[in-house]
Amino acid sequence: MKKKATIITYGCAMNVNESAKIKNILQNMGYDMTDDLAESDAVFLNTCTVREGAATQIYGKLGELKPIKEKRGTIIGVTGCFAQEQGEELAKKFKQIDIVMGNQNIGKIPQAMEKLESGDFKHVVFVGDEDELPPRIDADFDSKKTASIPITYGCNNFCTYCIVPYVRGRERSVPMNQILDEVKRFVEKEYREVILLGQNVNSYGNDSEDKEMNFARLLEEICKIEGDFLVRFISPHPRDFTDDVIDVIAANEKIARCLHLPLQSGSSRVLKAMNRGYTKEEYIALAAKIKERVPGAALTADIIVGFPGETEEDFLDTLDVVRTSKFDNAFMFMYSPRKGTKAATMDCQIDQEVKKERLQRLIEVQNEASKELSLAFVGKTEKVFVEGPSKKNKAVLSSRTSTNKIVLFEGESSLEGEFVEVKITDAKTWTLYGELVKN
Ligand code: 5AD
Ligand code: SF4
């Protein structure tokens, strides 16, 4: 009988990419993948620590795994940012854990498993090398059409609320040739979407002496690669969103018309306390410039409410930016203090009830904007990328526009993984409905 493994992924797109690498490593070691924990011989939790809730979820899962391990001897590995942050303490606290592995070390999974099998170790911990460029590892993405490539690791920004620079180390860029080779490889294998990943993608190359190694140039070189594919990237930083990057986007249809522009707060005072490096007015001007130079571009944002010291007036500034800059979608969070960050020690931490109330109001304002932008699509014909049958209704296909809006329409399942034209006939806040345009 072949051994079976489960990988559970929490957190961001970088973790999704790293889970695809872990999957490939485990398959090479002879494991088949399963979603059923009860029949797993190995379970890897690929964790996040960016907000408080992530830890609670991981503790819950470890509790669920305990009896399974007792019954079956399942190997339990914890990887990702929470593992990197906690280190060996985690294995000491939870006896069911066999492996604790930081972000940089996933390539050492076979080595860790071998050590465990020798019987000489209670648990194996690899959490070093967080300032190195990790070795290139092949990934097995769940989709044969969407691939992701890390272009930078780590972050140098030290936004005062954020734990990431402490767990993912200093920013380091992957050499441009290596990225271009990867994109070519994916395009040759008929992948249709390539997502470039980094904590701060547009500071790509800042750690290099080579002035030619910058984000605008990287995008330009990627767009020269022949083939029908879309390039997405997450996340850029508004402070580093230079004109040359906007020009390259405007000139290249291969770059998706959906740009993530993390706002975090609309108050210049709070932005300063967050160490974001831009003001409310600068952000609004940048959003307007992008929309003007890249017609039809959709913007999305991350927004935090309840940062220490945020007053009602500060919060109204955030609502004002949301109304003015009009995001297609926003990821909205209540501030949660992370140990070791500057903001966690600031005075005037905001009451949980106030955070909840502000989040609710923010969601309402954002939903209005999302609905208005969705309705504007009705009557238009859009080129969409077909992802496959819709999860809720298998009879219809789910697809996405270049601006990342979901479009549902009736069509043959053979269209999966292709670009097609769809006429939009109806719209709700998050979803568009359409009809396939037959050529
Ligand atoms: N509390 C709440 N949200 C946070 N984020 C990062 N750190 C925190 C925190 N301590 C959010 C930011 C970031 C996104 C990935 O997570 O909005 O852009
Ligand atoms: Fe965190 Fe700021 Fe770096 Fe993003 S840019 S990972 S929010 S420190």
Q: Is the pLDDT of residue 4 over 90?
A: yes
Q: If DSSP states are collapsed to H, E and C, what string results for the chain?
A: CCEEEEEEECCCHHHHHHHHHHHHHHHHCCEEECCCHHHCCEEEEEECCCCHHHHHHHHHHHHHHHHHHHHHCCEEEEEEHHHHHHCHHHHHHCCCCCEEECHHHHHHHHHHHHHHHCCCCCCEEECCCCCCCCCCCCCCCCCCCEEEEECEECCCCCCCCCCHHHHHCCCEECCHHHHHHHHHHHHHCCCCEEEEECCCHHHCCCCCCCCCCCHHHHHHHHHCCCCCCEEEEECCCHHHCCHHHHHHHHHCCCECCEEECCCECCCHHHHHHHCCCCCHHHHHHHHHHHHHHCCCCEEEEEEEECCCCCCHHHHHHHHHHHHHHCCCEEEEEECCCCCCCCHHHCCCCCCHHHHHHHHHHHHHHHHHHHHHHHHCCCCCEEEEEEEEECCCCCCCEEEEECCCCEEEECCCHHHCCCEEEEEEEEECCCEEEEEECCC
Residues 284-294, mean pLDDT to the nearest whole number: 97
User: How confident is residue 439, by pLDDT bands cut at 50, 70 and 90?
Assistant: low
Query: Which ligand 1 atom is at minimum distance from the Cα of 302?
Result: 17
Average pLDDT over residues 297-323: 98
Using CA positions, which residue lies closest to atom 17 of ligand 1?
Answer: 302
SS (H, E, C) 28-49: HCCEEECCCHHHCCEEEEEECC
**Taking residues 4-8, what's their average pLDDT?**
97
223 marked as binding residue: no
Average pLDDT over the chain reads 94
- Is 258 annotated to bind a ligand? Reply is no
48 is in an annotated binding site: yes
Kindly report the pTM of this predicted structure: 0.94
CA-nearest of 162, 182, 210 to 338 is 162
Check: CB of residue 152 under 8 Å from CB of residue 200. Answer: yes
Establish whether residue 159 lines the binding site of ligand 2, counting it when its CB lies within 6 angstroms of any ligand atom. yes
- Atom nearest to 262 CA in ligand 1: 18
Q: What is the pLDDT of residue 284?
A: 98
Answer whether residue 129 shows pLDDT above 80.
no
- What are the structural domains, with CATH classification, of the chain? 4-126 (3.40.50.12160), 146-375 (3.80.30.20), 381-436 (2.40.50.140)
Q: Is 348 flagged in the annotation as binding?
A: no
Q: Assign 211 a pLDDT band (cuts: 50, 70, 90).
A: confident
15 CB less than 6 Å from ligand 2? no
Q: pLDDT tens for residues 70-118?
A: 999 999 999 999 999 999 999 999 999 999 998 888 999 999 999 998 8
Q: Is the pLDDT of residue 238 over 70?
A: yes
Ligand nearest to the CA of 11: 1
pLDDT of 158 over the 90 cut: yes
Residue-level pLDDT at 1: 82
Structure confidence by residue, pLDDT tens digits, 373-395: 999 999 999 999 999 999 888 88
pLDDT tens for 41-77 read 999 999 999 998 888 899 999 999 999 999 999 999 9
Please state whether beta strands 3-9 and 406-409 pair in parallel, antiparallel, or not at all (unpaired). Answer: unpaired
260 within ligand 2 shell (Cβ under 6 A): no
Of all ligands present, the nearest one to the C-alpha of 335 is 1
